[in-house]
Amino acid sequence: MGIELSTDSAQVLVAFAAYLVGVALLGYFSHRYLTRGAFVNEYFLGNRGLGPWVLALTVAATAISGGTFMGFPSLIYTNGWIMALWIASYMVGPLTGMTLMGKRLNQVSRICGSVTVPDVLRDRFNSPTLGITASLLILACLMVNLVGQFKAGGTVMREALRLPPLRADVAATEVDDKNKELVVTFRQDDGTELTQRTALPAATAVLLPNKTEIRETDNGPDHLLFHFQIDKTEAVKRVAFPPQQLRLPFSGQALDKGYLLGLIIFAITVIGYTTYGGFWAVTLTDVLEGLVMLAGVITMAVLAVRAVPAIEVERSVPDRGAGQAATRKVELHGLAAATEHLRRQDPQLVYGPGPGDYLPLGMAFSFFLMWSLMSPGQPSGMVRLMSFKDSASARRATMLMCFYFAITYLCLLAIFICARAIFPRDYLHEAGSEARGEPDQIMPAMARHLAHPLVAGLLLAAPYAAIMSTVAAFLLMISSSLVRDLYQRVINPNVSERTLKISSYVITALVGVGVMIGALNPPRFLQYVIVFTGSAMGCAFLVPMLLTLYWKRATRSGILAGMLGGFFAVVSLYVLGWTDSRCQRALKEYEQATAVAAARGEAPPPAPVTARWLDDTLGWIPGWGQERHDPFNPIFAAGVDTLVWGMLASLILGVGVSMLGRPDAEQVRRFFPELES
Amino acid sequence: MSDKEAAARLLRNARREMLLILGVTALALVWTVGYCFLHGYQHAPDSWVVQSGLASTRSAEDLQQIAGLPDWVFVGIVLPWLMCTAFSIGVCLGLKDDDLGKEAASTQGAAHGH
């Protein structure tokens, strides 16, 4: 079956294709570097040759992920100005990301000839256990994370492709009051039925019968518009016709054809250039991706600010003649108009903690720590710090990153504050719901609304670029963990250069293909696992690495305890959160069932013994029993995020266990030289 | 300067820079989160921050704009962001370059093609 594309999509695809050709060319040219010297050093670390521009853009592009361009815009659109506080700690991001440990990490990795983060830990303490543990933690966390990134890549590409939907008729429409969803059943020509479930625009929304409209494009019916009554206003809900399906040959599973095609294009490009070009391909494409992102947000910010409808306000101005204040009508434009629109829509959009108590004090504190300290705690960022050529490069890169982060994040804030002013609640109702917010659609919607399809294609390439750079960095990290940390350093230390070379290419490609298969039908709770792995890795590596680099009293047992302590503290809070959700649900259901049985004069149902026992035993934990919107949310003990507890656990265990032992005197002399005068 | 002395100098400088950065991060956290909480959050009239006089209740009509932004965003976030950027650039211009040392032979010979 051929692929039908709309004209609009074709133009978007031309822009996308131009970008992808650039990426492929950089991958091709990077391959030439690989013949210069030692293969492993060149393939995984670029032979420590990064200058300031490449360094700044590669660190920034790796830190900025798909979430920055998909999830973050959606959060700004839903929650308004409080998101400025949510993201504020990027003001110190360049300092913490680059200068906190950059120079020293680079020096230590040179002293021991380390190529990867586990290498550094292993060589600094002369401990294979430490190296293997670090490799396994990186492998486990990054593999899961990569599945999510691949999914995001496939989703963006599907948006660019925009395949026409399935040809089908509407068979039935009903409102699921329990789940607050609109359920539309479509019937294909062969009689197969498909169901689309969409959140109601608001909890109080009432469906207006006989007002449903079918909207068509050149390719036939595209989506339905349902009309709802919300209090006294009318809202429209958009329900797309189901996407074209494709059945997998062996499992028979039906998949969205657009997503599958998008995923394959994404996977081929990113696996191709990473495998072929190694570290240099990843960093050089990071430069291109970083520039595409920067150009994208600046262009979009200018267009968005200009697109905000002007609004009139009354301002008091001093009347010089009468000596009293008088009111005068003033017309606001741009960002000022957007802020005024938001204030009139809902005052919670211009004040903290935001709609639905989005960012209470404890979480504002947690997010400040998250963005400023979790980025330097990621092993993918640490590898970049091991690869710059001199300290002047690091200094200049820090300066460049200051401008890069400030422009990117402040522009993103401005764009999606304007988006809320341009598409008020209508878009929230049309595409998402007031209760659940807006799914990751506002970014593509704004790109298409603001610009010509060709420019929109380039704007859409920005999130694609962000996802690509993160994926490439992670792919190389996983490959280096398997090839260098586990195979070369544990299984076969005398492996030949040729075998290393072949295994590096093969492993990188295989990991990519494996992750792509995992992303074909990822589990619903994947996004939580991704958030979890980011926090867990940061908590496992930040404090232990700082102690490794700066504290001569640190011991291998202390660092191991700090690493595992940070990791398992985060895991425990997630597991406890999930357990708590299940317990509370079981207890609530029991209470309801008991009440119903009593009303009917029947015997009460059997009590949930395990849930009750767990609730009695674990009820003392701060945050236990708190209502959470999602069963996969962790326990926010004392109102702060898991990363605060993870870092505390890592610090206490890292320092405490180190104090119980003695460091290796020879290693201390090697890594902590004293000044003679 | 000997290699050992250069390495020791780098360690000393890196340690100082680390402490400076942690200090600046703490200061930025207190300013940003503290100011925004006190001046950008809507507090109940009987909350402790209002009762103690640290914050006031803010209504939709109270909102002031500075450069198109809510006043608390400008003073609590944009201003410290500009100051942090200026500070970062100042620090980077003021920092002395250190010798990162020579690349040691990799622990595994094969990595260097032996």
CA distances, B25 to each of A29, A435, B95 (Å): 40, 35, 18
Check CB contact of A668 with chain B, cutoff 8 Å.
no
Cβ atoms within 10 Å, residue A203: 12
Check CB contact of A255 with chain B, cutoff 8 Å.
no
Residue the block writes with tokens 């640490």: A382
A–B interface: beta-carbon pairs under 8 A: 230
Q: Which residue, among B10, B11, B16, B87, would best test binding to A if mutated, counting the most A CBs under 10 Å from its CB?
A: B11
Quickly list DSSP for B58-92.
--GGG--EETTEEHHHIIIIIHHHHHHHHHHHHHH
Q: Is the pLDDT of residue A436 over 70?
A: no
**Which parts of A162-219 fold into alpha helices (H)?**
none
Task: For the full predicted model, state whether its pTM sits above 0.90.
Answer: no
Q: Is the pLDDT of residue A525 over 90?
A: no
* Coil/strand/helix, residue A355: helix
The distance of B74 to chain A (nearest Cα, Å) reads 10
Q: Is the pLDDT of residue A428 over 50?
A: yes
Superfamily (CATH) of domain A7-163+255-429+444-519: Sodium/glucose cotransporter (1.20.1730.10)
Peptide bond into A673 cis (omega under 30): no
The pLDDT assigned to A208 comes to 85
Q: Is the pLDDT of residue A178 over 80?
A: no
Candidate from A92, A399, A673 with C-beta closest to B24: A92
Considering only CA atoms, which of A447, A455, A456 is closest in space to residue A419? Answer: A447
Mean pLDDT for the stretch of residues A376-402: 88
- Parse chain A into domains and list their residue ranges: 7-163+255-429+444-519, 168-242, 522-677
The distance of B60 to chain A (nearest Cα, Å) reads 5
Percent of residues, chain A, with pLDDT higher than 90: 27
Mean pLDDT for the stretch of residues A372-396: 87
**A555: alpha, beta or left? (left if phi > 0; alpha if psi -120 to 50):** beta
Contact A340, B70 (CB under 8 A): no
Q: Is the pLDDT of residue A168 over 90?
A: no
* Coil/strand/helix, residue A612: helix
Contact A170, A403 (CB under 8 A): no
Say if the Cβ atoms of B32 and A106 lie within 8 Å: no
Q: Which residue, among B10, B33, B47, would best test binding to A if mutated, counting the most A CBs under 10 Å from its CB?
A: B33
Residues of B in contact with A104 (CB under 8 A): 10-11, 14-15, 18
The pLDDT assigned to A5 comes to 46
Helix (H) or strand (E) holding A661: none
Q: How confident is the model at residue B109 (pLDDT cuts 50, 70, 90)?
A: very low
Portion 588-627 of A in contact with B at CB < 8 A: none
* Coil/strand/helix, residue A300: helix
CA distances, A454 to each of A23, A42, A338 (Å): 18, 37, 26
Rounded to two decimals, the ipTM of the complex is: 0.90
Per-residue pLDDT tens digits for A472-509: 888 888 888 888 888 888 888 888 878 888 888 888 88
Percent of residues, chain A, with pLDDT higher than 70: 92
Say if the Cβ atoms of B88 and A398 lie within 8 Å: yes
Q: How confident is the model at residue B73 (pLDDT cuts 50, 70, 90)?
A: very high
Most confident of A15-24, A29-38, A601-610, B30-39: B30-39
Q: Which residue, among A91, A342, A399, would best test binding to B if mutated, counting the most B CBs under 10 Å from its CB?
A: A91
Q: List the structure tokens of B101.
A: 């040392």
Per-residue pLDDT tens digits for B13-25: 999 999 999 999 9
Considering only CA atoms, which of A114, A565, A616 is closest in space to residue A379? Answer: A114
The distance of A208 to chain B (nearest Cα, Å) reads 33
Q: Which residues of A155-181 are buried (b: 16+ CB within 10 A; e: fewer)?
A: bbbbbbbbbbbbebebeeeebeeeebb
The pLDDT assigned to A557 comes to 96
Q: Is the pLDDT of residue A595 over 70?
A: yes
Mean pLDDT for the stretch of residues A373-385: 86
Measured in residues, chain B has a length of 114
The pLDDT assigned to A654 comes to 97
Q: A78-82, A217-221, A263-267: lowest mean pLDDT where?
A: A217-221
Mean pLDDT for the stretch of residues A425-431: 65
Check CB contact of A490 with chain B, cutoff 8 Å.
no
Rg from Cα positions in chain B: 24
Give residue A475's Cα distance to chain centre: 16
Which position has the higher pLDDT, B39 or A604? B39
Measured in residues, chain A has a length of 677
Q: Is the pLDDT of residue B114 over 50?
A: no
* Coil/strand/helix, residue A251: coil
Q: How confident is the model at residue A652 (pLDDT cuts 50, 70, 90)?
A: very high
Considering only CA atoms, which of A625, A524, A632 is closest in space to residue A580? Answer: A625
Per-residue pLDDT tens digits for A107-160: 999 998 888 899 899 999 999 999 999 999 998 888 888 888 888 888 878 877
Q: List the structure tokens of A338.
A: 């957007």
Residues of A in contact with B32 (CB under 8 A): 85, 88-89, 91, 368
Q: List the structure tokens of A540.
A: 């496992």
Q: Which residues of A469-481 are buried (b: 16+ CB within 10 A; e: fewer)?
A: bbbbbbbbbbbbb
The pLDDT assigned to A34 comes to 64
The pLDDT assigned to A204 comes to 81
Mean pLDDT for the stretch of residues A327-341: 90
Count of alpha carbons within 13 angstroms of residue A481, beta-carbon side: 26
Per-residue pLDDT tens digits for A256-315: 888 898 899 889 888 888 888 788 888 887 888 788 888 888 988 999 999 999 998 887
Triad B20, B24, B26: Cα angle to 5°:
115
Q: How confident is the model at residue A541 (pLDDT cuts 50, 70, 90)?
A: very high
The pLDDT assigned to A3 comes to 44
The pLDDT assigned to A106 comes to 93
- Distance, in Å, from the CA atom of A203 to the CA atom of A292, rounded to the nearest integer, reads 40
Residues of B in contact with A361 (CB under 8 A): 33, 37, 41
